[in-house]
Structure 1
Amino acid sequence: MNITTGGNHTFIFSNGSNVAYATGDNTFGQCSVASSIKPSSDSSQSITTKFTTIVPPSPTARWQAISSGWQFSIFVSSDNAVYSCGNGPRGELGLGSSATTARSLTQIPSFPPPGTTVVQIVSTVEHTLVLLSNGHVYGWGNGRKGQLGLLETGEKYIWEPAELRLDLPEDFEITGIAAGREFSAFISADGEIHVIGSDKWGVKKSKPSNKVSGWRTFAAGWGAIYILTIEGKVLAWGRGTHGQLPPNDLPPLEKLAVGSEHALGIGLDGKLYAWGWGEHGNCGTLSKEQGEVVRWKHEVSIDGLAEGSYRIDGIAAGSSFTTAPRFRGIKNILPGIHFCYFSPTSDPIDPSSTESRITDLDNPTLNSSSLHFRTGFFFTASPSVPYIIKKWCSKTEALLSESDIPSIEIENIKKNLQEIYRGHLSPYEKLQVPEEKLFVWNSLVSTTLSKSQPTLTRILGPDWSCESTRETKWEKEELDEAIRSKTEITGSRKMFGPEKPLDTESDSSKERESLDYTQINLKRTWPLDAVGRERTVWARDRSWVLTDIFRKLSPKYGERQSEGSLATADSTAESLSGNLPSSGDTEDGQAAMLAELSISFVLTVFLANYSSAVQFKHILEISLTAGEAIKSHTKFFVKLVGLIEDMLKAARLVVGEKAESDDEDDEEAVGIPVEDTVLEEFVSGGDAWLIKLLRGFNRELKDIDEVKDGKELDKLKEGFEKLERFCRRVGWYLDDQYVRKGMVDLPPEEGGGRIEVELEDMEGEDERGEFAPVIVEL
């Protein structure tokens, strides 16, 4: 018996049998159950909840092999025919560029080549590998990271089966293949290993230097490679951030199966073992003694069977499942503030439709993004609030509040609360949120969001909800025009985020509520009555506009203005600092500013909200360029530096590897498509706007000797040093130590050898001082 799993679908079949059984997500026909599924707006219609039989098109054929990717499946029959079905926007089906969806079994023409048969076939998220009887490897699908070998210039996808150009070592004969998310791996009979594609998780540089003799199973997850030897030992390397690599005390195994971020093994003792990321229950039910997240060896019990009454003979591991259609909600939520957001995973009626998805401005016809219109809300869990009722409307892609749900539905829910609680809600403690995510989120909300309820209400309204396309008042007309015309909006800002489907039943003339963020005008950062030197000072040092916002956000301060001296030709930020409001008078405003930064960050990350991304950048820009304010408002900057570190960690852990791509034209690799990619700056270490701001702030901090509160300055410097240490882990260096002259080794394709290189004008963009050029409005 064989079990194979895809993104959210599963097959079971026996070698030589004319029947295979399929279950799971059939939205795109990946289960090849076209006749029993009718496209419907109800997403549950696209789920096969029972096993359905699949037979080869030829009455005399038998199933030989089945492999599954994210939204597609590949079948090999005994009559040497290969079939595909499902969704393949990047060539995953192998049917050519004109066939991106097949809702039933469709034969791949002219494959395999005459005189050859399929020896092994493996599929992963977006590509497939096939080892043929002549030792050659064919593949198709997404190959832009090099996972399908050397491609022609400008080529990203292979739409039909093609022999891969692998540049193998001499005398390397492939006898086993494995496919990761963005890499492919090959092994010879004597255990020599060759890996191609992305090395994001060290699958190439960390591979064994010696041959692995006596290997039995060769497999790969999304970011790691595994080998099971005939002695039962598991050797693995690659990504281990969630315990994906096997523990040191793992018992000898008889069988091994690898999923996206977890693995299963049958021990020689007949017991089932699991390790890796068990966020969605992939590794079995967890007990409190064994921890909330599987990060180690874990013996799995089978519900309903007494211990010792069974022996496990077969296993398969897939990827994490998305929310099921029967999902009703969550119970036992911990006290505190939370954020919940929703989005459909696909369009069950027309998978080729771009409605409610990200629009590619450079190529409007490209339908490759899976990011839909999103809506979410903050809420506080406490004993005084026994329940919160929301309803997702798939037609309008909106999250309905209790006041928008028909009263009869609300009454039915309230009458059956006890039954719903017992039988239909998923326990929060079984969601198995990874420890890092929980820790980072708690740290993020404990310092700002937990004290920001008035700020949440001001920005989002009384229901604390938001959606992808919601914008601020001053950007509304500009963004609406951009959405209508699908063109780049004024200046360098790109329209980003999905379009919301039209609600034909709603009043189109009804004005959508705007986000009430604090307006920050970077083109005027000085007082209205400032002229000459004073303008120049506050254009370079943005302390005035930052503290003025503190004043406006502090109810206690009101409209009082501090007395300041008149500017002269020799005025500096320090001499004019007497005109800044004091820190003690604006503590409420400082807290509101930090809360606003946190809120804009969360809405950027989870909802792809454009206005929040702009606000997020503007707050950091004025805060990290306010050198004089560091002396007078040191406590604010202590909290700001800690918050930036928390957001760095959150961006890496919450958004995950989709935001960690270093490829600019990757439609799906960047989790949230932010102009200048806020998340890319956080996660990938790109030397762009944020790191420049942090370097400038670092210089200002080093130049400060005396402040009103010396203890707070020490805390600030300690906090920034901690931030620097974290930044170095992702390749950021926040000092000004540049290598200006040195020797560089040229690669062989450029002739080899060494040349001397000198970097010039390294400080041009960081020029500072009294006479640094500054453009101000006259």
Structure 2
Amino acid sequence: MSTHPTPTLILLNLPPSILCGINLLTFTTTPTFLGIKSFPTGFHFLFTSPSASLSLRDGFWFQIPPTPPASSPPPAVFRKWSPETECLAPCPQPEGEAFVHAKGGWKEVYEKHLTPYRQSGAASSDANDAAAATKQQDDKEGAWEGITSHVSASILTRFTKSDDEWTISSASSGVQDRDEIPGLSREEVRDVIGEEKELGMLGIDLKRTWREGAVGRERTEGARDRSWLLQDLSERYQGTEEDGDEVMIKSGGGREERWGDVIMGQMEICFLMVLTLANYSCLEEWKRILALVLTCEKSVRDRWQFFARFLRLLKRQLERTDDVEGGLFDMSDDGGAFLKVLLKGFKRTLGQIAESKGEEDGIEDVKDEFEEVEKWVKDQYRWELGDEFVRSGMLELEDGEMVMMETKELEGEDESGEYAPVIVDL
């Protein structure tokens, strides 16, 4: 065999017994492990950590293009372990080919030292096994594709701020999420905690969700209904604007995409960086996207196709939250309060819209997707997203006395009472 028969990832000089992850599967390496074979078409993410007990992880995205012509060999991606930085660095093609040749050639490496994509997580006594898994996050059929369907080369380039190396680590951060230490300049902070790679966030500012120059009632409405900011972000990053949710061609890449795909892609990447790297800044961006989309009203009426797709993606992501070590997405009543409040508010919005619009407008599709999310959080976390609660009534005490009782505990979630929004005309 002069070349490899399937798309392949070769990892040069990777030490044994380090933590390695590919998409939704994690494992520890063995001395015979040299990489992974039989990659499907699409985008993939690999990360490493010197030890399973260390929280700092480094990873990179790469793309396996569509099946090449029969005359062209399948793609091979080469990365080389750097002892100085304890992470994988780019490796020139000739060096990678020489490494394979030194190991006995492609046939030897392919058959004895590469583990297939979607390998079993069980350890085996077979000497040819490339890796023994220690923690399994099963990449079931379609699972990875289902939560990366909006990832694109242009989004990765913008997010990682690099045209050719889509790298990211646990410490990478967006500007708005960086720690500010009183009394220290940015340079001094960098000297203390090290250099952090800057990530390309969308720049969602939930404190200003109205157009520049808006005053009075317009600003108040913009704070309550964040549709303007959602529209602005989509136009800013996607450029071409079309009516409705029609497919449009992105200038410069020729890639077909729909309105809001850039927001969906950012949401997917951020979620996966939390899932694999426990990246705090990506968690904050994920929350900002949820807080933006689930507080829109006008856009739901105009862009119902986007919201149906968004809710479908959200459910897929929620189904993976338990994969995070230590339960990073704490969905208890306290830890998940931010999401519970957003979902309750969005359900009220859908109810109000449904009263004024017919099924032909597509709102029923959004409601159907929301009901799937609602059913899931109810089954998993026993969340009740409706407003059907007794807030006041007569309570009979042990001695038979009747007392009028009233609770205000849910006013914050329902935006009622002292939490109710107030429109002020200036």
Q: Shorter-chain-normalised TM-score: which range?
A: 0.7 to 0.9
CA distance in 1, matches of 2:159, 2:303: 24
The 8 Å contact of residues 339 and 378 in structure 1, kept in 2 or not, is answered as yes
Aligned-pair CA distance for 1:717: 0.9
Which residue in the other structure is 1:728 paired with? 378
Tell which deviates more after alignment, 600-609 or 385-394.
Answer: 385-394
Which residue in the other structure is 1:773 paired with? 421
Give % identity.
Answer: 32
Aligned-pair CA distance for 1:402: 1.9
- Residue by residue, what CA displacement relative to the aligned partner does 1:730-752 show, whole Å, maximum 9, x if unpaired? 122221233547999xxxxxxxx
Aligned-pair CA distance for 1:386: 2.1
SS in 1 for 2:46: strand
Aligned-pair CA distance for 1:392: 2.9
CA distance in 2, matches of 1:684, 1:324: 42
The 8 Å contact of residues 553 and 589 in structure 1, kept in 2 or not, is answered as no
Superposition CA RMSD, Å: 3.9
Which residue in the other structure is 2:368 paired with? 718
CA distance in 1, matches of 2:268, 2:203: 16
Aligned-pair CA distance for 1:438: 4.3
CA distance in 2, matches of 1:421, 1:482: 47
The 8 Å contact of residues 390 and 402 in structure 1, kept in 2 or not, is answered as yes
Aligned mate of 2:98, from 384, 397, 411: 411
Which residue in the other structure is 2:240 paired with? 556
Q: Larger Rg: 1 or 2?
A: 1
Q: Structure 1 residues 43, 721: closer, same or farther in 2, change over 3 A?
A: same
Aligned-pair CA distance for 1:323: 2.4
Residue correspondence of structure 1 range 190-269 to structure 2 within 5 A: none
SS in 1 for 2:59: strand
Aligned-pair CA distance for 1:468: 1.0
The 8 Å contact of residues 740 and 759 in structure 1, kept in 2 or not, is answered as yes
CA distance in 2, matches of 1:742, 1:437: 50
Residue correspondence of structure 1 range 606-685 to structure 2 within 5 A: 606-652=276-322, 654-655=323-324, 658=325, 670-672=326-328, 679-681=329-331
CA distance in 1, matches of 2:350, 2:187: 42
CA distance in 1, matches of 2:316, 2:394: 38
Q: TM-score, normalised by structure 1?
A: 0.41
Aligned mate of 1:592, from 262, 284, 298: 262
Which residue in the other structure is 1:538 paired with? 222
Aligned-pair CA distance for 1:556: 1.4
Aligned-pair CA distance for 1:514: 2.1
Aligned mate of 2:345, from 671, 689, 696: 696
Which residue in the other structure is 1:463 paired with? 165
The 8 Å contact of residues 542 and 625 in structure 1, kept in 2 or not, is answered as yes
Aligned-pair CA distance for 1:531: 0.8
Q: Structure 1 residues 322, 482: closer, same or farther in 2, change over 3 A?
A: farther
Aligned-pair CA distance for 1:483: 11
CA distance in 1, matches of 2:337, 2:187: 27
Residue correspondence of structure 1 range 500-515 to structure 2 within 5 A: 513-515=197-199
Which residue in the other structure is 1:440 paired with? 143
The 8 Å contact of residues 379 and 464 in structure 1, kept in 2 or not, is answered as yes
Q: Structure 1 residues 417, 620: closer, same or farther in 2, change over 3 A?
A: same
CA distance in 1, matches of 2:199, 2:220: 32
Establish whether residue 521 from structure 1 lines up as the match of residue 205 from structure 2. yes
Higher helix fraction (1 or 2): 2
Which residue in the other structure is 2:88 paired with? 399
The 8 Å contact of residues 201 and 285 in structure 2, kept in 1 or not, is answered as yes
Which residue in the other structure is 2:252 paired with? none
- Residue by residue, what CA displacement relative to the aligned partner does 1:423-458 show, whole Å, maximum 9, x if unpaired? 211122533577674443332223x23xx2321222
- Residue by residue, what CA displacement relative to the aligned partner does 1:214-253 show, whole Å, maximum 9, x if unpaired? xxxxxxxxxxxxxxxxxxxxxxxxxxxxxxxxxxxxxxxx
Q: Structure 1 residues 774, 741: closer, same or farther in 2, change over 3 A?
A: closer
Q: Structure 1 residues 430, 339: closer, same or farther in 2, change over 3 A?
A: same
Aligned mate of 2:59, from 376, 382, 390: 376
Q: Structure 1 residues 761, 402: closer, same or farther in 2, change over 3 A?
A: same
CA distance in 1, matches of 2:44, 2:106: 22
Query: Residue type matched to 1:420 in 2?
Result: V
Which residue in the other structure is 2:76 paired with? 387
- Residue by residue, what CA displacement relative to the aligned partner does 1:664-706 show, whole Å, maximum 9, x if unpaired? xxxxxx254xxxxxx113x788441011101100010011134
Aligned-pair CA distance for 1:532: 0.9
CA distance in 1, matches of 2:187, 2:341: 31
CA distance in 2, matches of 1:604, 1:438: 22
Q: TM-score, normalised by structure 2?
A: 0.72
Residue correspondence of structure 1 range 52-63 to structure 2 within 5 A: none
Query: Residue type matched to 1:764 in 2?
Result: E
Establish whether residue 423 from structure 1 lines up as the match of residue 112 from structure 2. yes
Residue correspondence of structure 1 range 453-492 to structure 2 within 5 A: 453-460=153-160, 461=162, 462-476=164-178, 478=180
CA distance in 1, matches of 2:120, 2:268: 24
Q: Name structure 1 gaps, 5 residues minimum.
A: 1-41, 48-319, 347-369, 487-498, 503-510, 559-580, 659-669, 673-678, 745-754
Q: Structure 1 residues 442, 739: closer, same or farther in 2, change over 3 A?
A: farther
Aligned residues: 360
Query: Residue type matched to 2:120 in 1?
Result: L
The 8 Å contact of residues 391 and 408 in structure 2, kept in 1 or not, is answered as no
Residue correspondence of structure 1 range 258-297 to structure 2 within 5 A: none
- Residue by residue, what CA displacement relative to the aligned partner does 1:470-514 show, whole Å, maximum 9, x if unpaired? 12244457489799779xxxxxxxxxxxx98x7xxxxxxxx8652
CA distance in 1, matches of 2:357, 2:299: 10
SS in 2 for 1:380: strand
Establish whether residue 737 from structure 1 lines up as the match of residue 407 from structure 2. no
Tell which deviates more after alignment, 726-735 or 409-418.
Answer: 409-418
Q: RCO higher in 1 or 2 (8 Å CA, sep ≥ 6)? A: 2
Query: Residue type matched to 2:351 in 1?
Result: K
Q: Structure 1 residues 633, 554: closer, same or farther in 2, change over 3 A?
A: same
The 8 Å contact of residues 347 and 385 in structure 2, kept in 1 or not, is answered as yes
Aligned mate of 1:764, from 385, 398, 411: 411
Query: Residue type matched to 2:374 in 1?
Result: E
The 8 Å contact of residues 148 and 269 in structure 2, kept in 1 or not, is answered as no
Q: Structure 1 residues 596, 767: closer, same or farther in 2, change over 3 A?
A: same
Query: Residue type matched to 1:440 in 2?
Result: A
CA distance in 1, matches of 2:295, 2:313: 17
Q: Structure 1 residues 599, 540: closer, same or farther in 2, change over 3 A?
A: same
Establish whether residue 344 from structure 1 lines up as the match of residue 50 from structure 2. yes
SS in 2 for 1:715: helix
Aligned-pair CA distance for 1:760: 1.1
CA distance in 1, matches of 2:404, 2:42: 55
SS in 2 for 1:342: strand
CA distance in 1, matches of 2:171, 2:336: 29
Aligned-pair CA distance for 1:466: 0.9
The 8 Å contact of residues 343 and 373 in structure 1, kept in 2 or not, is answered as yes
Q: Structure 1 residues 594, 408: closer, same or farther in 2, change over 3 A?
A: closer
Q: Name structure 2 gaps, 5 residues minimum.
A: 1-13, 19-25, 69-73, 122-135, 249-256, 396-401
The 8 Å contact of residues 159 and 200 in structure 2, kept in 1 or not, is answered as yes
